[in-house]
């Protein structure tokens, strides 16, 4: 019997058309991913270059701006900006928070040649503790270094933004700056109706009757409202005391102004809440005068290039994205007492 051992080429099954399509799709996705990663790395590199080569100061109308580092002039006004909501942030070294701002104010006061400081405020306020931290630090720096501090209001310096300004020697505001909003707010969201519709129910196990006071999953009781109101009024009295002390304003004059309303710079001047209507140049000149600086002063602004870089990095990384439940319930808003103007939110 003869066995057929034909070792010639065996017939191959034809490739399915979709095989080429899948392989091609994978290659395209891989290339796109590499391109995205490459662009991301390039953007970070570009940000680093910008941060390193960024100007160390902002040129103003009468500024002789240089870096705080290497300061040699004896006739200098320091400039520190407080922009954004005021909270006690700080787990990251580049955070902007009350402790970081207080440190920057102190470092500016310690800088050789700085005889006065302009505090550039553009803030709706923030948490009670953070605002009070900045207020006390400003007063401490003024006393410890015998250095005048002038507050300059930007678009807004309301509630806690005004609170910290009251710790300064003088306040300069633009005619259209928004300020005031003297008061306290404790925001409590109630999504009980929403949860009942989706079948969600919260059953807290607590050590005391009021342990879950302010819960957003149920209606607040009358007693709880009274408790929170008493806390708010205590913090409100602290606010009034800080302004009365800092501005040397009698309580009987201050209380009618402190019902939570906002004022323009012009209205605030008329009410005695600010001292001068002017701009950055006026604030620098006033600070120079209080600091006994003769002639045209130089202005020294602390470079914040590290923050520029980290802001860009976080925007690329998608930091701070809220979950759907945070968008629905407002849980992204910080809990607690606030010296903050909510702007209708």
Strands 149-158, 170-173: pairing is: parallel
Are the beta carbons of 215 and 204 closer than 8 angstroms? yes
Number of residues that this document lists for the chain: 345
Q: How far is CA 234 from CA 34, 194, 280, in A?
A: 58, 33, 35
Furthest-apart CA pair in the chain: how many Å?
A: 124
Task: Locate all alpha helices (DSSP H) within the chain, ordered by sequence.
Answer: 17-53, 98-110, 128-145, 160-165, 192-198, 222-247, 251-254, 265-271, 280-290, 305-317, 324-329
Cα–Cα nearest to 117, from 106, 127, 130: 106
Question: Does residue 207 have an active-site annotation?
Answer: no
Question: Does residue 159 have an active-site annotation?
Answer: yes
* Catalytic residue from among 74, 112, 206, 211: 211
Are the beta carbons of 160 and 126 closer than 8 angstroms? yes
* Catalytic residue from among 81, 127, 159, 217: 159
234: left (phi over 0), alpha (psi -120 to 50) or beta: alpha
Question: In this structure, what DSSP letter does residue 257 have?
Answer: G
The whole-angstrom separation of Cα 305 and Cα 292 is 31
Angle between helices 98-110 and 128-145 (to 10 degrees): 10
Just list the catalytic residues. 159, 211
């Amino acid at each position: 019997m003869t066995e057929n051992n034909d070792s010639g080429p065996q017939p191959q099954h034809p490739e399915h058309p979709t095989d080429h399509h899948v392989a091609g799709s994978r290659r395209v996705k891989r290339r796109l991913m590499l391109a995205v990663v490459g662009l991301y790395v390039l953007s970070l590199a570009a940000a680093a270059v910008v941060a390193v080569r960024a100007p160390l100061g902002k040129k103003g109308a009468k500024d002789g701006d240089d870096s705080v580092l290497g300061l040699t002039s004896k006739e200098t006004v320091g400039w520190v900006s407080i922009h954004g909501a005021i909270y006690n942030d700080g787990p990251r070294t580049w955070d902007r928070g009350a402790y970081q701002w207080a440190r920057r104010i102190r470092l500016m006061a310690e800088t050789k040649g700085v005889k006065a400081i302009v505090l550039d405020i553009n803030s709706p306020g923030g948490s009670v503790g953070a605002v009070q931290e900045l207020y006390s630090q400003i007063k401490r720096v003024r006393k410890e270094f015998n250095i005048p501090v002038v507050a300059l209001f930007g678009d807004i310096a309301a509630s806690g933004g005004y609170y910290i300004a009251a710790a300064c020697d003088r306040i300069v505001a633009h005619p259209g700056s928004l300020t005031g909003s003297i008061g306290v707010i404790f925001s409590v969201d109630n999504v009980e109706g929403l949860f009942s519709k989706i079948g969600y129910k919260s059953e807290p196990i607590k050590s005391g009757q009021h342990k879950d006071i302010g819960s957003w999953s149920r209606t607040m009781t009358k007693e709880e409202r009274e408790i929170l109101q008493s806390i708010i009024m205590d913090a409100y009295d602290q606010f009034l005391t800080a302004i009365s002390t800092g501005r040397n304003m009698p309580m009987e004059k201050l209380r009618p102004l402190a019902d939570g309303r906002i004022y323009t710079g012009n209205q605030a001047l008329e009410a005695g809440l600010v001292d001068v209507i002017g701009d950055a140049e006026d604030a620098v000149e006033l600070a120079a005068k209080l600091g006994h600086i003769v002639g045209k002063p130089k202005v020294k602004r602390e470079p914040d290039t590290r923050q520029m870089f980290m802001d860009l990095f976080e925007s690329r990384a998608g930091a701070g994205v809220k979950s759907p439940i945070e968008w629905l319930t407002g849980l992204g808003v910080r809990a607690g007492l606030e010296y903050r103007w909510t702007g209708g939110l």
